Structure 1
């Protein structure tokens, strides 16, 4: 894995001559965040050595390099999911490459189903913790100390300082945000009513099919992480009766202007 990461990072560096400080992973329906970037380079996934290729509608397939304010940023326009058939090494490979390129801070976004009764469709949730219910762990197997320690302390998986700054920005821009715990399931099926009840009983506020593996690997490499989720459906009879991927994308698009503004200002001011 180490050699593959270095090979990929070298290819990207040679192509772009770019050293990013921030990495951004864009979730379903949130790909137009790249409009906020002063783009300097774009690399399609299929031209990058060792990169998987996204197969999901709503997830493009390229790395976008450029500036937001004075900060160098690399954005993943389209992520990889365990349910697509990739192993966890492949799902999290881009995060390791980001670190090798120089990324210190990772911002992850996703679309999720809400179980917190105080949420509604379109809400933006700042993730302050997660519950890992994926059937495979991204750090399973022999540990390479060059990446990070065998046993990773996850007490602050999501940066409290970044969350505090995001809340300050949200107040200033009159963007309503919620706090929440995100539970990661394998997918690709949306949850049954009983599974939504399980998620709530376990103490989570929302549930989705991504983010958790990427955050674990980022923390393994001592990256500072900020995560947010857009509530695209509610885990109740009315909310899931006609739920489809198109509806998820549409709900995410409605929240996208606020998400873009929040992430942009966080990168500029933090």
Structure 2
């Protein structure tokens, strides 16, 4: 089955369960950030297992559920959790859920993730607006035959993260008194955390935060012409930055949950103006 047919099958299954849904903005929730979906009103939930071709997230903090409804007055489709390449999924499968959002009608997608900060001045609990990324894996979800119906073989990634969306998120942060940090996100495959030497190298390359997701989704969405914004929830300082400390996923979960309320306020404010713009 071609990727286009797989996406059509997923869309048909979603529309069968939520025939009136017409989302305009997609949101992907990373580790510990699933509570943001609680702010969605008039919600309809669909389990990933009921959507053909959707990979099941292996991380326990990822609910594996699509929530359709309204946030900030804008029709949204929220992916509560994502699959990761480190779980053994093909990258084409990892990005299928966000491609499905585009096929459902979302012309904008906001990606969120949990990340480690490379700067002591941006500590745990902060939200970071992603302004660019570095693909440290050498992997690309578009490797292989190109689906011309989805996008061109070669395309520009100069403005991977939409400048106008970034400005709206800055305005939303100011209005909600949320001090947004800004920076470059570095994608690693995982699942092991980074070494102190790797963190030093990333800092030299210009990275500000590191994580194990988001970049393949950004590539796939930009391939389809979808506008992308991304926000990292800073859950920890990266390896080697706090002497004697060790990184673990429990810290990611604890910090992510604590930031979910701020993220929900930020996204609600961000989306409150989206309806007026359309």
Segments of 4+ moved more than 3 angstroms: none
Partner of 2:146: 143
Is structure 2 residue 258 aligned with structure 1 residue 254? yes
- 1:265 corresponds to which of 261, 265, 269: 269
For residue 209 of structure 2, what is the aligned residue in structure 1? 206
Q: Matches of residues 39-78 of structure 1 in structure 2 within 5 Å?
A: 39-78=42-81
Aligned counterparts, 1:93-104, within 5 A: 93-104=96-107
Distance (whole Å) between structure 2 residues aligned to residue 212 and residue 133 of structure 1: 10
Residue 122 (structure 1) aligns with: 125
Q: CA RMSD in A?
A: 1.3
Equivalent residues of 1:124, 1:178 under 8 A apart: yes
Please tell me whether the aligned partners of residues 64 and 76 of structure 1 are also in contact (alpha carbons under 8 angstroms).
yes
For residue 265 of structure 2, give the secondary structure of its aligned residue in structure 1.
Answer: helix
Q: When the two structures are aligned, how many residues end up with a matched partner? A: 270
Tell me what 1:16 maps to.
Answer: 18
Separation of aligned partners in 2, 1:154 and 1:26: 23
Cα deviation per residue 1:34-73 (whole Å; 9 max; x = unaligned)? Answer: 1110133111111111111111021111100001243211
Q: For the residues of structure 1 that align with 2:179 and 2:5, how far apart are their CA atoms?
A: 44
Query: Cα distance 1:117–1:19, how it changes in 2: closer, same or farther (>3 A)?
Result: same
Distance of 2:30 and 2:125 partners within structure 1: 14
Q: Which residue number corresponds to residue 193 of structure 1?
A: 196
1:27 match: 30
| 8 A contact 1:234–1:240 mirrored in 2 | no
- Check conservation: 1:233, 1:240, Cα contact below 8 A: no
Q: Counterparts of 2:75 and 2:129 in 1: how far apart (Å)?
A: 23
CA distance in 1, matches of 2:18, 2:146: 30
Q: For 1:9, what is the secondary structure of its paired residue?
A: helix
**Aligned equivalent of 1:164, options 167, 184, 193:** 167
2: CA distance between counterparts of 1:205 and 1:136?
20
Contact 1:43 1:62 in 2 (8 A): yes
- SS of match in other structure, 2:255: helix
- For structure 1, the residue ranges without an aligned partner over 5 or more in a row are none
Structure 1: distance between partners of 2:81 and 2:244? 25
Q: In 1, distance between residues paired with 2:231 and 2:122?
A: 14
Residue 174 to residue 69, structure 1, CA distance change in 2 (3 Å) = closer
**Alignment deviations for residues 98-133 of structure 1 (CA, whole Å, 9 cap, x no partner):** 111111100000011111242111111000100111
| TM-score (structure 1 length as normaliser) | 0.97
TM-score by length of 2: 0.94
User: 1:50 aligns to what SS in structure 2?
Assistant: coil
Question: Matched residue of 1:238: which SS?
Answer: coil
Greater Cα shift, 253-262 or 82-91: 253-262
- Deviations 1:225-260 (CA, angstroms, capped at 9, x unpaired): 110001111123427722210111111122221111
